[in-house]
Amino acid sequence: MLEWRRRREPSPAMLYASPLIAVVLTMLIGMIVFTAMGYDGFHAVRDIFLTPFLEPQRWADLGVKAAPLVIIALGLAIGFRANVWNIGAEGQYIMGAIAGTGVALATYDMTGWWILPAMALAGILGGMAWAAIPAFLRVKLQVSEILTSLMLTYVAVQGLYYLVRGPWKDPDGFNFPQTRMFTTDQTLPVMMEGSLVHLGIPVAVIIALVAWLLMEKTTAGYAVKVVGLAPAAARHGGFSADRVTWATLLASGGLAGLAGLFEAAGPFGQLTPQFPTGYGFTAIIVAFLGRLNPLGIVFGGIVLAATYVGGEIAQTTVRLPQAATGMFQALLLFVLLATDVLVRYRIGWKVRAA
Amino acid sequence: MTQPPDQTVRPRLALSHISKSFPGVKANEDISLSVRPGEIHALLGENGAGKSTLVKIIYGVQQADEGSIAWNGETVAIPSPKAARRLGIGMVFQHFSLFDAMTVIENIALGLDEAVDRDELKARVAAILDSYSLPLDPEREVHTLSVGERQRIEIVRCLLQKPKLLIMDEPTSVLTPQEVDKLFLTLRQIASEGCAILYISHKLHEIKALCEAATILRGGKVVATCDPKIETTKRMAELMIGAELRQIVHGDSSGAGAVRLSVSGLTLAGEPPFGTDLEGVSFEARAGEILGIAGVAGNGQSELLTALSGERPATKADAITLDGKPIGTMSAGPRRALGLACVPEERNGHAAVPDFSLADNSILTARHRLPLTPLGIISTGDVKNFADSVIKRFDVRTTGTAALARSLSGGNLQKFIMGREIGQQPGVLVVCQPTWGVDAGAAAAIRQELVDLAAKGSAVVVISQDLDELLELADRLCVINEGRLSAPRAVAELGIDEIGLMMGGVHGESGHGASGHGASDLGEPAHA
Ligand SMILES: Nc1ncnc2c1ncn2[C@@H]1O[C@H](COP(=O)(O)OP(=O)(O)OP(=O)(O)O)[C@@H](O)[C@H]1O
Ligand SMILES: [Mg+2]
């Protein structure tokens, strides 16, 4: 009979193999489920997971979708390593976009190279400010950041709706609920002619490298890991858990805010009620798929980006509903958590005790 | 009371040619031994010799790579602790797995393999407590109990399963002499009823008092078997380490140097929910001296250590001064930078991060005094060199600086941690249980390092339950009792039984007669 056996030590091989196993299992389960529902399951899965990689004209789109996911997930992963569970990146992402848009609207009749950096800075600060609230509540009042950060997301969404329908509504916009379009000085430079590939993509890769160096080679990264692994040892070594809570929440909020601003000043070019696309939530899956490792997160970001790009393809080719994308993402997280059992346990044959 | 075991009886447990490897080490190699019903059999060996690994194999926690286990003459497989318990094997681990906020009886119920009716369980526990005359109140909450009482819970848990073999891994390292005496009475009674006992300890005079056979391991192999009743403790220690024992050399320091650490009227609420409050603790430690603080565990030792280390700062800056500088409100980092190093009792998760390598673990507390992280960047080479030097100087048995802390045997991790702190040449070193679980040879080496550190002008404070150790090391001694510290007295004025009674009296467990401990772990026992 098959049985689970506890491994003496977590398996390093499985630590990296389980995300890959999870992706493959998700494809198999998806295929079965959609076939059972009367769709062409094989083609659906192929279009969602493979076509985005096989057709070069999709690569730009893949990068555009992956960049915000990677930037947000990098910040979240640093916090997760310290047991700081920021679930509200979506809210910080929206606040970053709002703050950056505030700068854009204030400067819409100006020109200058400094405008975009000012917007980016405002985006970072906006995200940080939104993350500072859960940080304060956790450090001062021991309130769980999981709840507060999540609830603040809905506050941010309502704030966005209010602004685009009220004070920030484009005066020349035929009463549509949206802000002015950003000017060229307020828009991310396009890296490739005729595509949406913007500056955010190389920036995401640079941030991943910096995050990796920070975690592996600095006392700051060390502090994050010790606080997460052994809080008492951290205190003994003179590391302050409160400071790490503050730092990781501000970092993840700031990065989410930056990603929000990049999205507003890139693909959107303005703020609209459609702006919250759930990247802040999907980035949680990216962080875990990437094993909370900055370089793994780049991989995880590309896989999740594929589900967005491929989901759109499958909508036209096999008429899959749009909700299928979300289903695949949720399924992936579910299967990933399940396959994680393999890191600590292995499957073996049951031997009867004599 | 212990009859020589009947040689004709079939062994209860017989191991033949057991081997077990971990990456880079052979923890057990071709080990054979047998234990007869009613026999108390000692397992001796240096730190990392493979004792814990061997008993974990017997208890089903780990699986042997080679070899076989015979139980009452029949070959058996023991794939899990549950299977071991079904056979009648019980084990008391050094670290108890008890829930502090629950009562004794609730903890016992949680540890059982099958559900037992509560009233029936109560009756069975009462019967066991009565027939072994174990003092333990089943309705008390665990956090109100002394370490010895907690251990009794684990023993009762085992006895409920009517064990035929009882394994005890270093059961006495945290007990007072009085508690040790009581434990031995219980163990002898259990053995007299036919249960075999496998007993691991580094305290050789205990082995002599309790055991009738001993198997000595070195480097994973059996190097000798002997009768501890006949062999001297010195001889057994030398069999273990395969060399002559070092005798501790005290310098002729008079201990009259300048005051380096001074604590005055330190009052600090214990950490909720079960901490002990420190109340008006005052003492001074001078350059060149070793100050001993004796006491039964749970009387404020860990609170005192975290108050000194800066993990829980005091409210007044001048409650603690280091070389005349008030440091009471500083946190741990700045205190270390000024030269105050501390070693807490708990190695895993407090003094060291189990999932970090030894190299990474040296960053934890050495980065303030050594240039390991200039400008916040970890200097990998310097870190590795420092960790390497600690491993060499303190003879830490490991596969290298990349080994995870939790892969080390208990004693070897302790050696590494002690080495990490002593290697920084601190002005003041405060250590809790410095040789806890460390073998006789390594314990002598660590004590020698402490003596040498003091001789170089540092002040050393040793908080320990091991009176033999304190008497061997300390110039002056005080006792901590429910968060209060007694006035220090010169060690020369004190007898061991006097201190033992002061310590043991706290929990209403006054000793009965002499505790019968030699003046040193390595010396001959005082009683026959
Ligand atoms: N899980 C593990 N992974 C890798 N190595 C291990 C593991 N457990 C034990 N070892 C190694 O096996 C050897 C024997 O360890 P063991 O814990 O049995 O020693 P011990 O005799 O109980 O020592 P001590 O007296 O210090 O407790 C040591 O070298 C140790 O580092
Ligand atoms: Mg051991």
Closest residue (by CA) to atom 27 of ligand 1?
B410
Q: Which residues of A228-249 are buried (b: 16+ CB within 10 A; e: fewer)?
A: bbbbbbbbbbbbbbeebbbbbb
Cα distances (angstroms) measured from residue A57 to each of A195, A333, B422:
10, 28, 63
Q: What is the CATH number of domain A2-349?
A: 1.10.3470
Domain made up of B13-241: CATH architecture: 3-Layer(aba) Sandwich (3.40)
| CB-closest option in A225, A236, A354 to B332 | A236
Distance A287 CA to ligand 2 centre (A): 38
ipTM of the complex: 0.86
For β-strands B476-481 and B290-294, DSSP reports them as parallel
Chain center to CA of B323: 32
- Closest residue on chain B to A217 (Cα): B378
Helices A279-289, A323-339: inter-axial angle, 10-degree rounding: 30
Whether the CB-CB separation of A164 and A89 falls below 8 Å is answered with no
Contacts of B115 (CB under 8 A, 6+ apart): none
Please give the number of the atom of ligand 1 that sits closest to the Cα of B439. Answer: 25
Residue type at position A50: L
* Closest to B64 (Cα-Cα) out of B457, A209, B75: B75
Paired with B262 in beta bridges are B284, B321
The rounded distance, in Å, linking the Cα atoms of B461 and B488 is 12
Give the Cα separation of A188 and A255 in Å (integer).
Answer: 16
Q: What percent of chain A has pLDDT over 90?
A: 76
Q: Which ligand is nearest to the CA of B358?
A: 1
Backbone φ/ψ region at A62: left (φ over 0), alpha (ψ -120 to 50), beta: alpha
**Phi/psi of residue B306, nearest 5 degrees:** -70, -25
Chain B residues 80-99 with a CB less than 8 Å from chain A: 83, 86
A161-206 confidence digits (pLDDT tens): 999 999 999 988 888 999 999 999 999 988 877 777 889 999 999 9
Nearest C-alpha in A relative to B355 = A229
Q: Rounded distance, CA B114 to CA B74, Å?
A: 26
Q: Which of A5-19, A145-159, B351-365, B398-412 has the lowest mean pLDDT?
A: A5-19
Count CB neighbours of A51 within 10 A.
17
Kindly report, residue by residue over A49-69, the tens digit of the pLDDT.
Answer: 999 999 988 999 999 999 999
Supply B32's token pair: 């054979």
Tens-digit pLDDT profile for residues B47-98: 889 999 999 999 999 999 999 999 999 999 999 898 999 999 999 887 777 8
For residue A139, pLDDT beyond 90 = yes
Which stretches within B312-373 are classed as H helix?
332-338, 358-366
Q: Does residue B193 carry a pLDDT above 80?
A: yes
> Per the CATH hierarchy, to which homologous superfamily does domain B248-339+427-528 belong?
P-loop containing nucleotide triphosphate hydrolases (3.40.50.300)
pLDDT of B259-312, one tens digit each?
999 999 999 988 766 778 999 999 999 999 999 998 877 788 889 999 999 999
List chain A domain ranges. 2-349
* pTM score, whole prediction: 0.83
Q: Is B360 on the interface with A (CB under 8 A)?
A: yes
Q: What is the CB < 6 Å shell around ligand 1? A: A 8; B 22, 25, 27, 45, 47-53, 397, 407-412, 437, 439
Name residues 273-312 of chain B within 8 A of A (Cβ).
306, 309-311
Test A238 with B376 for CB contact under 8 angstroms.
no
Which has the closest alpha carbon to A101: A276, A306, A262?
Answer: A262
Q: What is the DSSP code string of A120-161?
A: HHHHHHHHHHHHHHHHHHHHHH---HHHHHHHHHHHHHHHHH
Nearest C-alpha neighbor of A84 from the set A216, A220, A213, A224: A224
Say if residue A141's pLDDT is above 60.
yes
* Ligand 2 midpoint to CA B223 (Å): 18
Q: Which residues pair with B20 in a beta bridge?
A: B28
Report the alpha-carbon angle B127-B132-B134, nearest 5: 90
Tell me, in angstroms, the distance from the centre of ligand 1 to residue A209's CA.
38
Closest residue by Cα to residue B419 from B385, B396, B443: B396
- Quickly list DSSP for B145-158: S-HHHHHHHHHHHH
What is the spatial distance between Cα A327 and Cα A26, in angstroms, rounded to a whole number? 10
Distance CA(B95)–CA(B78), nearest Å, equals 22
Domain locations in chain B as residue ranges: 13-241, 248-339+427-528, 348-425
pLDDT at B497 over 80: no
Residue B182 has pLDDT above 60, yes or no: yes
Q: Which residue, judged by its Cα, is nearest atom 3 of ligand 1?
A: B407
Of A219, A233, A237, the CB nearest to B378: A219
